C-alpha cells in the first residue's frame, strides 16, 4: 500500500520521501526520495523527519502507513515483548512521526492520513495486540484532528480490510499462517477469502484503491473532511 501511495502521489506532482527499513528497487524506481529507517524506533523517526525537513524544506503531507499484522498467537502466548513490538510499530511510529512533523504541518496547513485497519472495528482472533494497536491508532487520528484542526491541519484515517499485498500473498506471511490454520493452500485461501471474510463485493481490495483514497484525503478536494475514518473493505464490516 505504501508503494502504491508513493506512485499515486508522484503521479499527482507531489515530491515524496518514502521511508522503509529496506529500500526496495521498486521504491527507488518511483523517483521518490528515500531514506532507510526503522520507524518503530525513536532513532528511525529522527532520521526520517530530519531528512524530510532538509530535502523538502518542510512537510505539507504525512501518510503514516507503517504497520504489520503480528503473528497469529493466542492471548496467553503473547508476552510483554510481543505487545511492545506490535505497539511500537503500529501505533507509536505514527505518534512519533506526527509529533515531529506537526510544527511544519501547522505552518503549512497540511494534512495527515493514518492507515489503520478494519481490525480496529472488528478485532481479529489471534491478532489481539494488532487489533488493539490499530484501535488506538484510529482514536489517535480523531484526537489529533480535534487538537490541530483549528490550526489548519486535517487528520483522517483510512481503514482497509484484506488488501492484495505481500502480507497476504508472500510465503511465510500472515496469509500463509491463516491458510495453514484453515488447512488449505495459500492460493486457495486467498481465493476463498472474500466468502470467508464476508466481503460483499466478492473480491479483496487492491493496493491502488487504498492509495487513491489516501491521495483524495490529502488533496484540496477533501478540504473540509476532518477526523473521519474511511473503511475500504468491500463491505466486510456490516455494522454502522
Comparing CA positions, the residue from 109, 113, 106 lying closest to residue 137 is 113
What are the grid coordinates assigned to 61, written together? Answer: 503531507
- Cell 493466542, located at residue: 74
Comparing CA positions, the residue from 190, 186, 164 lying closest to residue 177 is 186
CA-CA distance, 163 to 166, in Å (whole number)?
Answer: 9
CB atoms near residue 13 (< 10 Å):
6
Catalytically active residues, by annotation: 130
Comparing CA positions, the residue from 175, 170, 160, 90 lying closest to residue 128 is 90
Amino acid at each position: 500500500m505504501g508503494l502504491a501511495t508513493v506512485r499515486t502521489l508522484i503521479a499527482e506532482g507531489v515530491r515524496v520521501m518514502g521511508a522503509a527499513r529496506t529500500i526496495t528497487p521498486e521504491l527507488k524506481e518511483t523517483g521518490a526520495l528515500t531514506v532507510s529507517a526503522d520507524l518503530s524506533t525513536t532513532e528511525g523517526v529522527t532520521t526520517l523527519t530530519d531528512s524530510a525537513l532538509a530535502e523538502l524544506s518542510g512537510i505539507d503531507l504525512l501518510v503514516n502507513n507503517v504497520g504489520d499484522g503480528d503473528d497469529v498467537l493466542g492471548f496467553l502466548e503473547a508476552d510483554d515483548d510481543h505487545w511492545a513490538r506490535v505497539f511500537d510499530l503500529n501505533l507509536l511510529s505514527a505518534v512519533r512521526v506526527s509529533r515531529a512533523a506537526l510544527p511544519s504541518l501547522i505552518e503549512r496547513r497540511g494534512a495527515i492520513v493514518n492507515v489503520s485497519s478494519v481490525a480496529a472495528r472488528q478485532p481479529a482472533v489471534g491478532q489481539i495486540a494488532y487489533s488493539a494497536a490499530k484501535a488506538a491508532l484510529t482514536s489517535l487520528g480523531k484526537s489529533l484532528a480535534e487538537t490541530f484542526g483549528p490550526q489548519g491541519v486535517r487528520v483522517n484515517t483510512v481503514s482497509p480490510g484484506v488488501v492484495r499485498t505481500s502480507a497476504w500473498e508472500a510465503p511465510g506471511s500472515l496469509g500463509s499462517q491463516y491458510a495453514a490454520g484453515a488447512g488449505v493452500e495459500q492460493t486457495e485461501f486467498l481465493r476463498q477469502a472474500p466468502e470467508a471474510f464476508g466481503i460483499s463485493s466478492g473480491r479483496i481490495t487492491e493496493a491502488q484503491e487504498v492509495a487513491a483514497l489516501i491521495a483524495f484525503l490529502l488533496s484540496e478536494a477533501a478540504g473540509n473532511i476532518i477526523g473521519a475514518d474511511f473503511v475500504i473493505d468491500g463491505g466486510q464490516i456490516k455494522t454502522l
